[in-house]
Structure 1
Amino acid sequence: MYPFDTQICKLMILPWGYTNEEIIVVPTYDYVVQWWFCQQQTWKFIESSVAKNENLQYLEFTMKLKRHPMFFVLNLILPICVMIILNIFVFLLPPESGERVGYAVTVLLAIAVFLTISSDNLPATSSPRISSISILLFADVCISAFIVLMVILSSRYYHREGEYPVNKFMRGFVNVSRIVRCKVCCCRRKKEKYSEKGNEEEIKWTDVGKEIDIVCGIFITVVIYIVNALYIIDVAV
């Protein structure tokens, strides 16, 4: 689970060219001695063992190493989490600013850059499984791409001219969204306001755009929470 992975390195020493009758291999210790061992900044030496094969007369040295993850946490994982959180705030930008699409695309490109950086530090293999951080980055890229699409869609509805009437589907979407939100937050005043007769005629395209922003903001927040929680559980387990 990069960068919280633990690796097991094995080294086999075989007296090549000799038979079992000519030479017998006997290990002095049942572990790897560390008399001339120098501490490494990336890996931590956990434990070791030495095993002997009686048939082929060779020794197998096994060393268990654990990666120091703090460098990768500070320079890779935390920036990714910060960027994906910043992605949510695109729905708080006023549509009149005209910077929403540029903001969303910038965050998408930044996450794509981190995906490239992480792929350079990982082996190009899919067996036994792909690294969890690669899956997390791919999920973040998909979420960012979805955010870009929804921002474009909401901006299109928000700036639509008033001469085009709001269709029945969009009216129903706005009414249902308002009622559900009012039930969740227990806002009696707004609930009574949205339940008044003739409220459908007051719905404008700007209201459609605002409701899309609110619904997408809540949905994306839940999805991001679930994705990051699954990553933490996967790493912890």
Structure 2
Amino acid sequence: MTGNSTYKTNLNAELLNDYNPSVHPGRDYQRQVLYINITFALTKIQSFDELASSLTITGNLKVTWIDERLLWRPQAYTKLKTTHFKQKEIWIPPLVLSNSYHNIDLIGEGDMPVMVTHRGEVQWFLPLKLSSSCDADVTYYPNDEQICSLEILPWGYTQEHIQMTNFTSAPTANEFVENPIWDLIDTSQHSFKAPKLGFELTFTFKRKPLFFMVNFIMPTILMSFTNMLVFLLPAESGERVGFSITVLLAIAVFLSTITTILPQTSTPQMALLCYLLVTHIGQSLLIMLCTIFGLRFYLRPTEEPVPRWIARLASLSSACETFSIVHPEPENTISVLTSEDTEDVCKENGNKTNDNVVSWQRVGRAFDNACCVFFTVTSVTCNAAFLVVMSS
């Protein structure tokens, strides 16, 4: 064991004799290009911040190249085939993350160990935590899919000095740990071709929408249908206006909550969920106005005549309903109608156009029925269209 340590000490000392770590490998700089191979193994997607437009990942970066100055014969050193140096002791490609979210610094630390084989192959393994800028596309939030890229460049060198290669088409994910919010859909990596020099990692991940569907989407849709119940409340209760305003404020609160967790951008498009909430707010505002307008029918004096066109519209809600004023008969009088008589009365009342016998209360009920049907159909259409677009 002592002999091995001594031989390894002598080996490192001889290899570093007259070695200049600021000069990159190569015997002929005018004709020879240094090829550097890079492979990245993704470990975990730490976080993706939509507001800050930043992606943070962890993984292992493997960089290999050939340095002719680090060759030796294993037989001369008790068959030692590998040795280790500190990163600052030998030449290391100065790699930087060009689209870093924070400061652009060199990747790696000076005391990071580097393994070298007797054939001059340098193997540099780096555990990394990278934070890059990535603009969020929240068009289909919370069913959105994000594509982020990380660019690693050799700072200070051009394609005439070195070339970066990649032997694998995708980062390995053998040790990948699932993220509680995001599902990894696809990964890829490739080196840039001339004239651009560098290495790019691309990640495609999709949000797990269940939490957001239960806590944001479903309450919003349910509140939009709750809005219709205002037309079922008795006008005499005096709670119609308060009920419609309460639902309107509840939807406005949900809109403010959504805007706090989404980036303030309109590129490429604002979230469809915001459009849905704005539509529900507009619908709630119309319902509140229709509620106030409908209450005016109930509060009109009973002796005020109903205009002919309003009476005709109100009669559409019940084609076979009598609107004539029925005078009470004496208590000891019993009126008996056969089925034939009833049909005759319905036909007679159906052809009757005396609008003075239609009450304003009846007009108010007909207006409530029409509003309830209209806004229900509108709400179902908007919510169904939103869910179809989200699912596709």
TM-score with structure 1 setting the length: 0.90
2:113 matches 1:113:
no
Q: Distance in 1 between matches of 2:346 and 2:157?
A: 89
Gap change, CA 1:63 and 1:144, over 3 Å in 2: same
2:318 corresponds in structure 1 to 178
2:358 corresponds in structure 1 to 203
2:158 matches 1:19:
yes
Residue 209 of structure 1 aligns with an amino acid whose one-letter code is G
**Tell me, what secondary structure is at the counterpart of 1:14?**
strand
Q: Distance in 1 between matches of 2:170 and 2:159?
A: 23
Give the drift of 1:236. 2.3
1:61 corresponds in structure 2 to 201
User: Which runs of structure 2 are paired with 1:95-114 in the superposition (5 Å)?
Assistant: 95-114=235-254
Gap change, CA 1:174 and 1:62, over 3 Å in 2: same
**Tell me, what secondary structure is at the counterpart of 1:25?**
strand
Residue 217 of structure 2 aligns with an amino acid whose one-letter code is I
For the 8 Å contact 1:132–1:234, the answer to whether it is kept is: no
Give the drift of 1:234. 1.4
Q: Distance in 1 between matches of 2:303 and 2:142?
A: 56
Give the drift of 1:78. 0.6
2:385 corresponds in structure 1 to 230
Q: Distance in 2 between matches of 1:61 and 1:192?
A: 79
Higher mean alpha-carbon deviation, 188-197 vs 29-38, is at 188-197
Which of 294, 297, 308 is equivalent to 1:157?
297
Which of 356, 371, 388 is equivalent to 1:216?
371
Q: Distance in 2 between matches of 1:100 and 1:86?
A: 13
Q: Distance in 2 between matches of 1:191 and 1:50?
A: 79
**Tell me, what secondary structure is at the counterpart of 1:128?**
coil
User: Which runs of structure 2 are paired with 1:21-170 in the superposition (5 Å)?
Assistant: 21-34=160-173, 37-55=176-194, 56-170=196-310
Gap change, CA 1:174 and 1:213, over 3 Å in 2: same
Report Cα offsets for 1:152-171 as digits up to 9, x if no partner.
Answer: 11111112111322122321
For the 8 Å contact 1:6–1:66, the answer to whether it is kept is: yes
Give the drift of 1:36. 5.3
Q: Distance in 2 between matches of 1:198 and 1:53?
A: 83
For the 8 Å contact 1:175–1:194, the answer to whether it is kept is: no
Gap change, CA 1:72 and 1:191, over 3 Å in 2: farther
Q: Distance in 2 between matches of 1:120 and 1:180?
A: 54
Residue 54 of structure 1 aligns with an amino acid whose one-letter code is K
Q: Distance in 2 between matches of 1:29 and 1:103?
A: 62
Residue 29 of structure 1 aligns with an amino acid whose one-letter code is T
Kindly report the root-mean-square deviation, in angstroms, between the aligned alpha carbons of the 2 structures: 2.2
Give the drift of 1:28. 4.2
Which runs of 5 or more structure 1 residues have no equivalent in the other structure? 182-187
Gap change, CA 1:85 and 1:191, over 3 Å in 2: farther
User: Which structure dedicates a bigger proportion of its chain to strand?
Assistant: 2
Report Cα offsets for 1:96-150 as digits up to 9, x if no partner.
Answer: 1110111111001000100111111111111222211111111111111110011
Residue 386 of structure 2 aligns with an amino acid whose one-letter code is Y
**Tell me, what secondary structure is at the counterpart of 1:149?**
helix
Q: Which has the larger radius of gyration?
A: 2
User: Which structure dedicates a bigger proportion of its chain to helix?
Assistant: 1
Q: Distance in 2 between matches of 1:51 and 1:193?
A: 84
Report Cα offsets for 1:54-109 as digits up to 9, x if no partner.
Answer: 11221111100000101100100010011111111111111111101111110010
2:112 corresponds in structure 1 to none
Which runs of 5 or more structure 2 residues have no equivalent in the other structure? 1-139, 322-341
**Tell me, what secondary structure is at the counterpart of 2:248?**
helix
For the 8 Å contact 1:178–1:194, the answer to whether it is kept is: no
Larger RCO, structures 1/2 (Cα 8 Å, 6+ apart): 1
Residue 80 of structure 1 aligns with an amino acid whose one-letter code is T
For the 8 Å contact 1:20–1:57, the answer to whether it is kept is: yes
Gap change, CA 1:65 and 1:191, over 3 Å in 2: farther
Give the drift of 1:175. 2.1
**Tell me, what secondary structure is at the counterpart of 1:44?**
strand
Give the drift of 1:226. 0.9
**Tell me, what secondary structure is at the counterpart of 1:40?**
coil
For the 8 Å contact 1:91–1:214, the answer to whether it is kept is: yes
% same residue: 36
Q: Distance in 1 between matches of 2:225 and 2:348?
A: 33
TM-score with structure 2 setting the length: 0.56
Q: Distance in 2 between matches of 1:62 and 1:158?
A: 65
